[in-house]
Amino acid sequence: MKHLFVLLAAFCTVAVARAEPIVVFDSGSNLDYAKVSCLFFKKAVPPSQAKLAAAEDCQMASDTRLLGRRLEDEIESKFAVDTRCKGVTVPRLNHPDLDGKYDDVTSLSKSHWNLMLYYHPGSNIHSWALARSDNAFKVNGEGTPAQIADEVCIVVTGQGANIP
């Protein structure tokens, strides 16, 4: 009788196939934002302690776009170790100048999420925006690379609230 119940439960269970989420780093936008941020802080007057730390961060980089790439790399590493991110694929669209080639987002055949990063020079806290490829949903936040990876995975895996 017990085996019959288990067999019946197995037949009555409906498996729902769910596509694994794809989160795309938009390097063209992310790296250029870091460059523009550094230009702003290099011209900041009057200099405050925070502005000086930001300007110093920018001056240490041979190419300020590399600060945006460093942020992408840090967040990518956090995606890899965050258990909430299981099953999430995280490709990167190349920067047309820095990487020598350009990947057009329209070449992605599957539904995906675009992750835009807003690098804040001299800070461990950065802003981000996540938009679905159909533009039906967008969420923003800020945090450390670990917080960004965790919060993005909460959204794309459906672990957060359903917002119509």
Return the domain boundaries, the chain: 20-156
First-to-last alpha carbon distance for the chain, in angstroms, is 44
Sign of CA dihedral 118, 119, 122, 124: positive
| DSSP assignment of 88-133 | -B--EEPPTTTSSS---GGG--S--EEEEEE--TT-S-EEEEEEET
pTM for this prediction: 0.81
Could you report the average pLDDT of every consecutive run of 10 residues in the chain (164 residues)? 43 49 91 92 70 86 94 97 95 80 62 94 95 88 98 94 76
pLDDT, residue 6, reads: 41
pLDDT of residue 47: 65
pLDDT at 78: 98
CA angle 135, 138, 143 (to 5 degrees): 145
Contact by Cβ (8 Å): 77, 90: no
